[in-house]
Structure 1
Amino acid sequence: MNTSGSSIISALGAGSGIDFIKLAGDISAASFAVQRSTAEARRSSLEAQISAAAQLRGSITSLASALGDRIRNGDLAPKGEIANAAVAKVSVPTGLSPRGSFSLEVTQLAQGQTLVSKSYASGAALVGEGTLTLRFGTVAGSGFTPDAARAAIDIAVTADDTLATVASKITRASGGAVTAYVATGPDGAQLVMKGAEGAASGFVLEATGAGGGAVAGDLSYLGWSPASNAGELRSTARDAAFRLDTVAMTSPTNRVTGLPGGFTLNLTATNTGAPTTLTFASNTAAISGVMNDFVAALNDIVAQVNDLAAPVGGELGNDPGARELRRDLAALAGQVVMPNAAAGEPRTLGDLGLALNRDGTFRLDSARLNQALERSPDAAAAMFTVGPTGVFATIDRFARENSLVTDPGSLGGSLRRFETQLASTDDRLAAITEQQEALRERLTRQFVASERRVAASQSTLTFLRQQVDMWSNSDR
C-alpha cells in the first residue's frame, strides 16, 4: 500500500489523531466488498462446474479409449488353433476376423546363409589391408545369381584391422543384413557370418588384398564364393515352403503374411506328409468379459452423472450438457451399431445384452448375449472391430459428440461456456481491484489535503493564543 500520504502527515506534525491512510483503505474496501464477494462466489461456483464437466468428459473419453485398446490388442479377435501346435503359431492382426478351417503342411523352413571362415591364430590376428565387398543374391550349388535390386557393399580394411574389428565392420556396414562375430574353437579363431532368412538373402564375400596371396595375413584369405567353397558354407539361404489347403506357397521368412482373412503364421517346424488343421473360432468368452466390463464402466459414469448433475446440490444440476449426456446414456441400449447386419443377426447394443434399468443404471442381460453368441458368433465378433461401424465406433462417436466444444448443448459446449465465464469473472475481479485501488489513492490524497488544512488551522490557533497571552501579560 502507498504510504506517501502518511509520510506527509508525519512531516507536518499533524495532530488530528485520525489514521487517514487506514481510513482510506477501509472505505475503499467496504465500497467494493459486495461486488468482490459476488464475483469471488461466482468464480468458486464456475471452478466447481468446470471440474465436474471435465470429470464427466474425461470418463466418457476414457471409456472409448479403453474399449478401443481392448479391441486393438487382439483380445476379442477370433482365435486360431493348430492341431499340431509344434508346426506353427497363428495370430490375427487388429480389426480382422478370419473364419473357417485350413489344412497346413510345412515342407521347409526359411533360413539364412551361414559362413565360417578359415582359421586364424586368434581374434586379434591381423587380416591384411584391402577391400571386402558383400554382394547379395541367390546361392545355388556352385553358382551365384546377384540381386540387381541390392547394391554391393564395400568395406575398407586397414593394416591395423584384426579379425574382431573386421567382424564389427561387416555388421555395421551391412546394417545388420549380415551379422558377423569371432568364434574360437579347437581349430583356432574363425569369422562367423550369418545372413537374413530367404533365398535372395544369400551373399558372397569378395576380398582384394595387398599381399597378393590367399594366406592368413592377406585379406584374400577371407574371400568366399560358391565356386571356391571348401567347407566354409555351413547353411544355404532358402525360402520357407508350405501348402495351405494343398496349394503350394513360399515365403522369404518364417513369418508368413497375406493369408486368407489376413491371419499371420509363424512357421516353427516341418510336417511333411502329415498335414495339420488350422481352425478359427470366435472368442465368445472374451466378448462376454468385455461386455461385463463395459456395463460396469457405464454404471460408473451414471453414478457420476447422478452425483454431479443432481437437481439439488449438483454442480451441473441445471446444465444442458449434463442433461444431454443423461439422455444419450438412456438411449445407448437401442443404438444401432451394425446398420448393415443381416436379418436375425445382432445389430444393437441391446442385442449384445446391454439393458437399461428403471433407475437409469445398466445391467447385462446374459441370456440375450449368449443367444447372440450361439446363433450368430461371427456376426457378434464382427461388432468388435475398429472399423466405421461396431461397438467401438458407436462409443467413440458417443464420446466425441458429448465432448464437442462447438456444440453449446453438449458437455464440451458447457465446459467451454464455463471457462469463458470464468475468464470474464477473473477480468471483473481484476477491474474491481483496480477501481478499489484508485478510490483508495483518491481518498488518501483528499485526507492528506484535509490534514494539511487542520494542521494550518492549529498553527494559527497556537499563534493567536501566544499573542493573547503576551497582551495579557503586558497589561499587568
Structure 2
Amino acid sequence: MSVIQDMENPGSSIISALGAGSGIDFIGLANDISEASFAFQRNTVEARRETLEAQISAAGQLRNAVTSLASALGERIRNGDLAPRGQLGNAGVAQVSVPVGLSPRGSFALEVTSLAQGQTLVGNAFASGNDPVGEGTLNIRFGTVGAGSFSADTGRDPLAITVTADDTLATLAGKINQASGGAVTAYVATGAAGAQLVLKGAEGAASGFVIEPVGAGGGAVPGDLSYLGWNPASDAGELRAAASDAAFALDTVAMTSPTNRVTGLPGGFTLNLTGTNTGAPTSLTFANNIDAISGVMGDFIAALNDISAQVSELAAPVGGVLGNDSGARELRRDLAALAGQVVMPGAGAGEPRTLGDLGLALNRDGTFRLDTARLTQALETSPDGVTAMFTVGPSGVFATIDRFARENSLVTDPGSLGGSVRRFETQLERSDDRLARIAEQQESLRERLTRDLAASERRVAASQSTLSFLRQQVDIWSADR
C-alpha cells in the first residue's frame, strides 16, 4: 500500500525518507493551501447549488399542484359524481353507459322484446370424445339460417378445417376454436346419449352457420366426417338455438341490433341489453346532477386556495424561494384571472360563460371563495347550461383548467413554471460542472505545491547536513588547539 501511495505522490515519499528536515508538515501544508485557495469559489458554488435545488423543488411543487388539480377534476367528470349516468326504471332490462365527452339529455321509454343470441348446434353422438371422426375437410359457412333454408353471407370467407385420420372429436373441437377466431366456439359434451360436439356461434341473425363436411365417403356414420354435417333442411333436432338479433323499441320506435350491445343511440349513450320487458316499457332518464355540481365547486375552490397558499409562501417577495421567479409570477397572474375566464365561448345569451358565473370569486388577498348566491342562480335559471360546463370536451371547466395546467407546465416557455424548472436544472448542471473544474484545479495546485515543498525540504536537509559537517570540523579544530 505504501508503495502505491509513493508512486502517486513522489514528493511525500521524498519528504518522509528525509526524516527530520525542517520539522514542517509540508504535505498537510500543501493540502491546506490548495483547499484554502479555492474555498471561496467552492463555497459560493455549493451555496448556489443549494438555492437551485430548493427552487427546483418549489417550482416542481407548484407545477404538480396545478397538474394534480386538472387530473382530479377530469377524473371526477369522467368517472366520479359528475360522470353522466342514465337511470333505468327497470334495471333488469339493460345497463346504460355514456362514452367520455358525451352528455345525453332527456328521458326515453325502452321496451326490449328479444335479446340477441348465437346459434347453438349439438351434433350426432359418439361413444367417446376420443373416437376418430374421419379424415377430410370440414367446411363452415356463415349466413342467415331460416326455416329449412340458408342464405350465405358472401362477404365472409368460410372456414375450411383439414381433418386427419388421427383426429378425434376432441381434437376437432380444438381445431375449430383455433381456426374460427371466435366466430364459432366448440367443445365436447358427454351426456346420456354419448359424446357430442357442441358448436356455438356469435350473436346476431347473420352469424348463423352450416356444417358441410367433405370426407372419404362411406356414409353418415360414426368415423366418417359426413356424420358431423348439418344444414337447416336436414335438421333433426341438432339446432338447439337459432341465431337472432336483439329487438327493442326506443320511444316506440322499433329497432334491432346484431348484438346486445347497442350503440348509435341519441346523445351517444350505449345500452347493454340484459332482459326483456315486452308490453311493459321502462323509463330511461338522464338528469342533471345539481347537488354534485355544488359539491365539486366547493372542492375546486378549496384546491385553488391550497395552490394560492403555496404560491404566497414559496413566491413571497421577501424570503420566498421563488420570490423573483417569472414562472411563479405568471402562475399568480393566471390564478387572479381565473374568475373571469370564459370557459363556454359558444354559450347563448343569459347562459353561464365564465367560472365567475359558477360562483368562483376572488378575495382581495388573492384567495378564492364560493359565491353561493351566484351559483344557485345559475343552477336555477340554466341547469342544462351549467351541466354542459362539466364535460371533458373542448370547452368547459375541465378544458380550461387542463389548458391552465399545461401552459404553466410548458418547459419550452421560459415564463412558465415548467420553463423555470428547466432553467434551474440547467443552472444546476453548470454548477456541478464548475465544482468539478474547481476540484481539478485544486488537485493540480496541491500536486504542484507538494513538488515544490518537497524540493524545499531537500534543500533544507542538505543545508542541515552541511551545517552539521562544519560544526564537526570546528569542534575538531578547537580540540587540536
Deviates more, 1:280-289 or 1:440-449: 280-289
Q: After superposition, what is the alpha-carbon deviation per residue over 1:218-250, rounded to whole angstroms, capped at 9, x for unaligned?
A: 222112111221111111111112222333222
One-letter code aligned to 1:68 = G
Deviates more, 1:31-40 or 1:457-466: 457-466
Partner of residue 44, structure 1? 50
Alignment partner of 1:292 out of 294, 298, 304? 298
Checking the alignment, whether the CA contact within 8 Å between 2:129 and 2:168 is kept in structure 1 is yes
Checking the alignment, whether the CA contact within 8 Å between 1:177 and 1:195 is kept in structure 2 is yes
One-letter code aligned to 2:339 = A
Checking the alignment, whether the CA contact within 8 Å between 2:161 and 2:179 is kept in structure 1 is yes
User: Are 1:358 and 2:364 counterparts?
Assistant: yes
Taking the aligned partners of 2:282 and 2:416, their CA distance within structure 1 comes to: 56
Checking the alignment, whether the CA contact within 8 Å between 1:86 and 1:268 is kept in structure 2 is yes
User: Are 1:219 and 2:240 counterparts?
Assistant: no
What runs of 5+ residues in structure 2 fail to find an aligned partner? Answer: none
Checking the alignment, whether the CA contact within 8 Å between 2:76 and 2:83 is kept in structure 1 is no
One-letter code aligned to 1:407 = D
Taking the aligned partners of 2:27 and 2:85, their CA distance within structure 1 comes to: 83
Partner of residue 82, structure 1? 88
Checking the alignment, whether the CA contact within 8 Å between 1:128 and 1:209 is kept in structure 2 is yes
What runs of 5+ residues in structure 1 fail to find an aligned partner? Answer: none
Rate the CA distance shift 1:165–1:287 in 2: closer, same or farther, 3 A.
farther
Partner of residue 411, structure 1? 417
In the TM superposition, residue 13 of structure 1 has moved relative to its aligned partner by 4.4
Taking the aligned partners of 1:374 and 1:189, their CA distance within structure 2 comes to: 68
User: Are 1:148 and 2:141 counterparts?
Assistant: no
Taking the aligned partners of 1:286 and 1:332, their CA distance within structure 2 comes to: 21
Partner of residue 401, structure 1? 407
Checking the alignment, whether the CA contact within 8 Å between 1:110 and 1:197 is kept in structure 2 is yes
In the TM superposition, residue 297 of structure 1 has moved relative to its aligned partner by 1.8
Alignment partner of 1:163 out of 169, 173, 191? 169
In the TM superposition, residue 211 of structure 1 has moved relative to its aligned partner by 5.3
Q: Report SS of the residue matched to 1:115.
A: strand
Q: TM-score, normalised by structure 1?
A: 0.94
Taking the aligned partners of 2:377 and 2:223, their CA distance within structure 1 comes to: 77
Partner of residue 277, structure 1? 283
Checking the alignment, whether the CA contact within 8 Å between 2:264 and 2:270 is kept in structure 1 is yes
In the TM superposition, residue 9 of structure 1 has moved relative to its aligned partner by 2.0
Deviates more, 1:44-53 or 1:136-145: 136-145
Taking the aligned partners of 2:430 and 2:345, their CA distance within structure 1 comes to: 46
In the TM superposition, residue 253 of structure 1 has moved relative to its aligned partner by 0.6
**1:12-411 map, 5 Å:** 12-13=18-19, 15-73=21-79, 75-210=81-216, 212-411=218-417
Checking the alignment, whether the CA contact within 8 Å between 1:74 and 1:93 is kept in structure 2 is no
Q: After superposition, what is the alpha-carbon deviation per residue over 1:93-141, rounded to whole angstroms, capped at 9, x for unaligned?
A: 1111222233333232211100111112232333222222221111111
Q: Report SS of the residue matched to 2:126.
A: coil
In the TM superposition, residue 251 of structure 1 has moved relative to its aligned partner by 1.0
Alignment partner of 1:443 out of 444, 449, 455? 449
Q: After superposition, what is the alpha-carbon deviation per residue over 1:374-430, rounded to whole angstroms, capped at 9, x for unaligned?
A: 221211111112222111110011111211223332222222221122122212211
- The total of aligned residue pairs comes to 475
Alignment partner of 1:426 out of 432, 446, 450? 432
Deviates more, 1:43-52 or 1:296-305: 296-305
Deviates more, 1:8-17 or 1:292-301: 8-17
In the TM superposition, residue 371 of structure 1 has moved relative to its aligned partner by 2.6
Taking the aligned partners of 1:467 and 1:212, their CA distance within structure 2 comes to: 136
Taking the aligned partners of 1:80 and 1:150, their CA distance within structure 2 comes to: 37
In the TM superposition, residue 333 of structure 1 has moved relative to its aligned partner by 1.6
RMSD between aligned alpha carbons?
Answer: 2.0
Q: Report SS of the residue matched to 1:203.
A: strand
Rate the CA distance shift 1:72–1:79 in 2: closer, same or farther, 3 A.
closer
In the TM superposition, residue 318 of structure 1 has moved relative to its aligned partner by 2.5
Checking the alignment, whether the CA contact within 8 Å between 1:14 and 1:452 is kept in structure 2 is no
Q: Report SS of the residue matched to 1:118.
A: strand
One-letter code aligned to 1:439 = L
Taking the aligned partners of 1:375 and 1:167, their CA distance within structure 2 comes to: 64
User: Are 1:453 and 2:459 counterparts?
Assistant: yes
In the TM superposition, residue 75 of structure 1 has moved relative to its aligned partner by 4.3
Checking the alignment, whether the CA contact within 8 Å between 1:107 and 1:241 is kept in structure 2 is yes
Rate the CA distance shift 1:121–1:364 in 2: closer, same or farther, 3 A.
farther
Between the aligned residues of both structures, percent identity stands at: 79
In the TM superposition, residue 92 of structure 1 has moved relative to its aligned partner by 1.6
In the TM superposition, residue 352 of structure 1 has moved relative to its aligned partner by 1.5
User: Are 1:464 and 2:464 counterparts?
Assistant: no
Q: Report SS of the residue matched to 1:184.
A: strand
Q: Report SS of the residue matched to 1:128.
A: coil
Deviates more, 1:338-347 or 1:44-53: 338-347
Checking the alignment, whether the CA contact within 8 Å between 2:246 and 2:260 is kept in structure 1 is yes
In the TM superposition, residue 470 of structure 1 has moved relative to its aligned partner by 4.2
Taking the aligned partners of 2:97 and 2:138, their CA distance within structure 1 comes to: 41
Partner of residue 15, structure 2? 9
One-letter code aligned to 2:463 = S
